[in-house]
Every structure is written in structure tokens, then in C-alpha cells.
Amino acid sequence: MQEAQVKEEITSKWDVSSQTYDMQHGHAVKSSAEADAWIKVFNSVFPAGKLDILDVGCGTGEISLLLADMGHNVTGIDLSEKMMEKGRVKAQNRGLNINFQLGDAENPPFDAGSFDVVINRHLLWTLPHPKTAVLNWGRMLRSGGRTVIIDGVWDDGSLNTKVRRFFGNVGVLVAERKNPWKGYYSDDLKAVLPNAGGTPLERSSGYLSDADLKNIESLDISYIRDIQRQFMPWHKRIGHNYSYYLVHGSK
């Protein structure tokens, strides 16, 4: 696929997803227990003080909203204006001032040294050039700033995962009257995405190291995944059992 085709398909899919994205636990932060857990973990890894934060691939702004609630200055960028429009409405309803603007997560339109933190959640799998993206995120950090990646591997190819996903998909077919085997992205698009099944921790750490970031540390945040599972229907809980981590590095 040509680069323009790749970005066009990605944008189109998330434009469509904007209508239902916030209905699902694991996408939206839909419980106070989950919100409290995210805030606690962010406080444990962020630099001190009121920060300028860039949320890359912000989607409907769920992480942006949490960060703004914490008192930080937040900018969110995404390829999908329809996803961000949902975020703008939510921010307005909560009295929060968040700057949502169109932008490519692989090459954000900001000068070097613009932010104290660059953060993303569930993003690396949909980037055709993740190493380039992380390199650019590091470039935009001020001295002492942090790049924070929240990710996991939901399709590791193991028999256990295949069985879980099969029964979860059967549940979707029965309960939601949807065809879960249709897939989200086309095969042509998935072929150019290095992390289409999720991103192993070692790979994310390597991206941070290749971007010359230091003090790289990771946290197992499967307990947040488990909070999300508590509120899911049974057919969603079956598959929502993958590795889940936060990894960060400083400039």
C-alpha cells in the first residue's frame, strides 16, 4: 500500500469507530475505580508539577480528560477528526480546556522541546512506522521529560489466546449480532503494521532506547485490565486477558 492509502484507511476506520468507541470498557474509562488507578500510576511516573502533555493518537480523549482533571495542560492529536470531536464535547461538558487538533502520531506538528510528557495508549499497533514515531516523540520532549507508552499483546498466536478469542467471538456473534471474524483492518493494511497483534514490552522498550531515552522502566498494569473486565459482558471478559504494561523513558 502507498503511504497515503495507509493513512486514509486508518483514518476512515476510526471515523466509523467514533460512534461506538466510548461504549466499551477498555476503550472508555467507565468506572471511578479505573480512573483512580490511572491517576495513581500517572502520578508515579510523571515529573513533578503542572506539565505540558501531548497525548498522541488521543482518539476520543479518554486519557486527555484524565490528565486535564489532574491539572495538566493537555494537547491531543489524532488523524480522526470525528474521534476528537467526541473528546471536545466531553471536555466541554466537564469544563476542561484541552487542545484537540488534527495531527499524525508518527510526525506530530510541534517544535522540539515543546512538552514535558508525550503519552499514548493502545497506539503502536496501528502505526506503520512505530520506531520513527517514538523517535519524534522524544525529540519533542524538554530536558527531563518523559515518553510514556501504554500497550500490550492481545494476539500472541498461542493456543490459549486462539481458544479465548474463538469463544469470545462466538459470544459477540450471538449477543451483538456482529461478525467478529470480519476483521477491523484489511489484510493489505495489517501487512504493513509491524505490531498488528499488539506490541511486546521488549519491543516498546527498544523503541525508547533507539530514541536515546534513558532510565527506561516498566510497570505491569494488568490490574487495570482486571478492573475493566469486571464491568464487561462475559463474551468480552474471555478475550480481555492479555499482557498489559506501561513503559517510560526520560530525556
Q: pLDDT tens across 221-243, in order?
A: 999 999 998 887 766 676 667 78
Which residues span the domain enclosing 237?
A: 3-250
Long-range residue pairs from 126-129, CB within 8 A, at least 24 positions apart, any chain: 126/10, 126/57, 126/185, 126/193, 127/193, 127/195, 128/3, 128/6, 128/192, 128/193, 128/194
- Would you state the cell numbers that stand for residue 189, as one nine-digit string? 493494511
Distance CA 175, CA 170 (A): 8
Task: Identify the band that residue 173 occupies on the pLDDT scale cut at 50, 70 and 90.
Answer: low
Residue 135 has pLDDT above 80, yes or no: yes
pLDDT at 194 over 90: yes
pTM given for the model? 0.91
Residues 151, 122 contacting (CB under 8 angstroms): yes
Grid cell locating 247:
513503559
Q: State the Cα–Cα distance between residues 3 and 16, nearest whole angstrom.
A: 20
| Cα 157 off chain centre by | 21
Q: How far apart are CA 165 and CA 220, in angstroms?
A: 22
**Rounded mean pLDDT of the chain?**
91
Residue range 112-136: mean pLDDT, rounded? 97
Instruction: Say which CATH number the domain at 34 has.
Output: 3.40.50.150
Radius of gyration of the chain (CA): 17
Supply 250's cell numbers. Answer: 526520560
**pLDDT greater than 80 at residue 77:** yes
Q: Three-state DSSP class for 82?
A: helix
Sign of torsion over alpha carbons 74, 199, 109, 7: negative
| Total count of domains within the chain | 1
**pLDDT recorded at residue 233:** 74
pLDDT digits (tens, 9 = 90+) for 24-37: 878 899 999 999 99
The predicted-structure confidence for 195-227, as pLDDT tens digits, reads as follows 998 999 999 999 999 999 999 999 999 999 999
Q: State mean pLDDT over 110-126.
A: 97
**Can you give the pLDDT at residue 23?**
84
Is residue 114 scored above 60 in pLDDT?
Answer: yes
The mean pLDDT of 129-149, rounded to a whole number, is 98
> C-alpha grid cell for residue 177?
449480532
